Each structure stands twice: as structure tokens, then as C-alpha cells.
Structure 1
Amino acid sequence: MTLLALNKPFGTICQFSPHETRASLADWVKVPGVYPAGRLDSDSEGLLLLTDDGTLQARIAEPRHKLVKRYWAQVEGAPTEQHLEALARGVDLGDYVTRPCRAGFVEPGQALWDRTPPIRYRAAIPTTWIELSITEGKNRQVRRMTAAVGFPTLRLVRVGVGALDIFSLGLQPGESIGLSPRAPWDGVT
């Protein structure tokens, strides 16, 4: 059984087959037979787990297992504690209401790598970093949640899956590392 952690770069699509205009996972991962356990949109970056074991893949990706995924979102504007409380309670996105989650402010400091290309900078509009810990991971969920409370996401980085943290793994964009599939991180073995 193989389990890899990849720091998926911005602009990379979560598939191994080639794409005409974007990098794919094949550009970064040379281990045959592994597939992503969950997805990150091409405009999102950060921790992506890949495995060749279907059972492990399902336990990581499927919301029914409630494995926490942590995201840092740089949002446009200056949300308040009340906005974070609204996110934490669950947000009505029209087609579904998100599960309750954890939401808080975060200061990335030097921990976070520079993005290529950088996000747009507008002097008159502040940005704020928030951390959301969710157990669902539906299509573009974090982006939709922040937009629903009035703060569109400019940059989205998955920083953790279960007890795994991208910073403790020491991965720069495009780097991957093999993990023990027997590691006791949040019960996923």
C-alpha cells in the first residue's frame, strides 16, 4: 500500500491525464498507480493525499468518515467574529447547508510560501486570512462559504488533513513525500 503527501501547486489539475493548458498531477508525482484521495480545484493549492488503496482513499475522501480538512483562505475584506460564527454554524448555499465547522483568524507569516502567480493586490481593499476546518469537502465549498458571508476567497490553501499538517511535512509546492499508511492520524489506517 502506498500513501503520498503532495503540496499541490496552484494551477495544477487533480488528474494524471495531460491537459492542454495546465499542469497535471503527472507533472509532480512519478509514482505509478496512485490516485488522489479527494480533490483540490486547480486554483487551490496545498496538501493532497494520494494512494493506491481504494479503501484508504475512501476513508480519507468520503464525508461520512468526518476526517477534518483544514484550509487557510485569504479573503477580500475584513470579516468580524460574527462572520466567523456564521461560518462555524453552517452556511446555506442554496443547494445545501454546510455542516458546522471550526472557523478562526490566522496569520500565515513566513510559514506560507509565495504563490505563482501572486493574487491581485488592491491597496484600497484589505485582505484577511481565516482558517476553516471542515469535514465535508463538497465542490468549491470553502470558496462558496466565504462568498456567502460576504468575503470572496482570493487564495485557498489546504494546510491539513486529519492530524497531517503540510508545514510539519516540510513540503514546498510540487514536492511530495511517502507516508506510512499505518500512521495513526485520526483513525485513518
Structure 2
Amino acid sequence: MRRLLFAVVLAGLPALPALAEGVRVAAPSGYCIDREAGTGLGLVLIGRCEGVTDRPPAVLTATVGGPGSGIDVAGRGQELAAYFQSEAGRRALSASGNPRHVQLLEAVGRGNAFLIRLRDSGGRAAPESWRAVLTLNGRLVTLTASGTGKTPLGRENGKSLISAFVDAMEGANRRKPRLEE
């Protein structure tokens, strides 16, 4: 059941409009949400802001799972690493759906997020990218950071960018304490 949940969420199929239903999407500094690029699948596209030159060109995406889809990501690092190394996990990560196209390069826990660096030879986008899986407000959230066809991110820039994306999302979704009346 958990494997199916990961595969479906990472494929973006049951995603809800990510700016509604309790999860706010926030871009890292220097990157802006493309409000005109609606996909209808709850996939939010983010790119480098116009005029910004001190950040690497990149394509970022965010998808949000349904209510109650969140899991304890921080406590399940080994299980997540094993899943994403499996055929089903690589299929979920693959742009083409073909697990043979995906090579898992790195998987590491970072606070409440699980980061994955991968190479996908089956898509049209830059072959190397980073993913982050985390839970925000009870929903499983998947973030992606990849370079452009002309400008790959590289390991350090990619890890820094996906980490900044996680920080921005966590900051935008912190529960504010209610004031006592």
C-alpha cells in the first residue's frame, strides 16, 4: 500500500491544486512561481525570476498529495532509501515510467525531508535532478529541482537548491499558534 502511495504521488496523478487545501507553495529566494503554467494536476512550476542572474537556471516543481497522505519521513529514511532503489521506486521517479532509465545517485535524510539525487536517461529534461519528499500539514509533498537542457545544476548547486526549496516550503507552512481570546 505504501509503495502504491509513493508511486502515485510522485507521478503527480492524485495531486490537488497545491495553492489550496492547506499547503502553500513557496519558492526559494531568486525563483518565482509560474502562475500561467497551470497543469490541471496540481503541479506547480517554478523558475528563476526575471532579471535574476546570481542563481542557477533551474526548473522546480511541487506536487501535493491528498488529505492524510503524509508519513513520518524523518523516521523512515532506511525504508525510503530501499523503496527508491527498488524497481517500483525507480519507476515512480522516472519521467518515462521506465525504471531502467533511473539511477539513484544519492539518498539522504535532511531534517523532516528525504532528499534523492538521481539520473533519468528517459526524459527530455536535464538527466540529473534532485527530489525531496516531506510531509506538510498532513499531506505528502514532492519537490523537484533540475537544471535546464543547456545548464545542468551539478551536485552541489542541486543539493543547495533543493534544500532551499524545502526550507521555503516548511517556512510557508508553519502552523501559527492561535491567540487566546
TM-score scaled to structure 1, two decimals? 0.30
Higher relative contact order (CA 8 A, sep 6+): 1
Report which of the two structures shows the higher radius of gyration computed on alpha carbons.
1
